[in-house]
Homo-oligomer: A and B are copies of this chain.
Amino acid sequence: MGMALGNAFDRPESSLYLGIDPGLNRTGYAIIRRTPQRPLLVEGGVIKSTKDKTLAERVLEIGQGISEVIAEFEPEAVAIEQIFSMTRNPKTAVLMAHARGAILFAAAQAAIPIVHYTPRQIKKLLSGNGAASKEQVQHAVQRELGLKKILEPNDVADASAIALCHYYSSRVDINVSQPCPVI
């Protein structure tokens, strides 16, 4: 495994992955670094939009925030959660999709590969159970990153879970870079 990993390092990439938990009000992000030992949390944060601004201004705040994170860390890849349910709250899904569109645009402008994971894939990979609870995922994130306590706020824990999902998926050579025309 060390050998395979070593080979994987024979490239100029930054070994950093950006995980994003997208939302119009709050978009969580986490930067995870690949190391020979374990994944390390380099930075996590929340980009908030201003509630009384226009939709376009809010989308700009989220998109620019992500652009800045990408410019600062130059991650190898961006991992983002797929929208899983449009029926539960269609209005929320559509507002979130606006933020997601700006985030994808910002990442694509920077020419960073973007991978999508379903919540089920993320839960399954981290906890072994595709229907894991939020708490189980939080504990898995804490364990994988070697943290002393639960990562908070939850947006950052979710973003870390997505980044970790890509970290492990790309390690085992799962091809996740398929065209993803569906959401």
Contacts and interface: CB of A to CB of B under 8 A. Distances in A.
Nearest to A80: B56
Nearest to A53: B179
A99 interface: yes
A97 B102 CA distance: 10
Contact of A55 (B95, B102, B106, B183): B183
* Residue with the highest number of chain B CB atoms closer than 10 Å, among A99, A102, A109, A183: A102
A122 to B, nearest CB: 18
Interface in A81-107: 83, 86-87, 90-91, 93-95, 97-107
B98 A104 contact: yes
A108 B183 contact: no
A180 interface: yes
A55 B179 CA distance: 7
* Residue with the highest number of chain B CB atoms closer than 10 Å, among A52, A54, A99, A105: A105
